[in-house]
Amino acid sequence: MSRIGKRAVAVPSGVTANVEGQTVKVQGPKGALQLVLHDDIMAKVDDGQIKVEPRAETQRARAQWGTSRTLIANLVSGVTKGFEQRLEINGVDMIGWNAEGRIDRFKVMVRPLKAINALHQAMGAKLAST
């Protein structure tokens, strides 16, 4: 038995959820998301909750059970809270100063691309304010 899969996913007020075949659709204040479940898993909406169960007692079905429940919980979280990623940068690889002592160039080794774009905007704002 999956300890995670056994727990139902609560559907908060303001969020609608429905299951059509293997597709779970969730709609809320931040948008709409959907997920196609593995064939070994079935889901149903019951009393404001989404319940996930394996179709058979196979090892693959049990493995997909908890994963599917977590993915559905992430759908509900995505349409209510949205997504946020916070980065903490420790260290800068190369910094260059101009004659006035102000930073005019820097090089940071960060991955992934979203982090690079966020860092670029933050550093640009910081440089503009000084």
- Please state the domain extents for the chain: 3-80, 94-129
Query: What is the reported pLDDT for 121?
Result: 87
Give the whole-angstrom CA distance, residue 103 versus residue 127. Answer: 7
Residue 91 has pLDDT above 70, yes or no: no
Give the whole-angstrom CA distance, residue 26 versus residue 119. Answer: 32
Phi and psi angles of residue 99, each rounded to the nearest 5 degrees, phi first: -65, -25
Confidence of residue 111 (pLDDT cuts 50, 70, 90): low
Yes or no: domain 3-80 corresponds to CATH 3.90.930.12: yes
Q: What rounded mean pLDDT belongs to the chain?
A: 87
Give the whole-angstrom CA distance, residue 119 versus residue 127. Answer: 12
* Three-state DSSP class for residue 47: coil
Amino acid (1-letter code) at residue 107: K
Q: Could you tell me where the DSSP H helices lie in 1-130?
A: 3-6, 59-80, 113-129
In 3D, which of 39, 4, 33, 5 has the Cα closest to residue 21? 39
Note the pLDDT tens digit of each residue in 15-71: 999 999 999 999 999 999 999 999 999 999 999 999 999 999 999 999 899 999 999
- Burial (CB count within 10 angstroms: exposed 0-12, middle 13-18, buried 19+), residue 24: buried
pTM (2 d.p.): 0.66
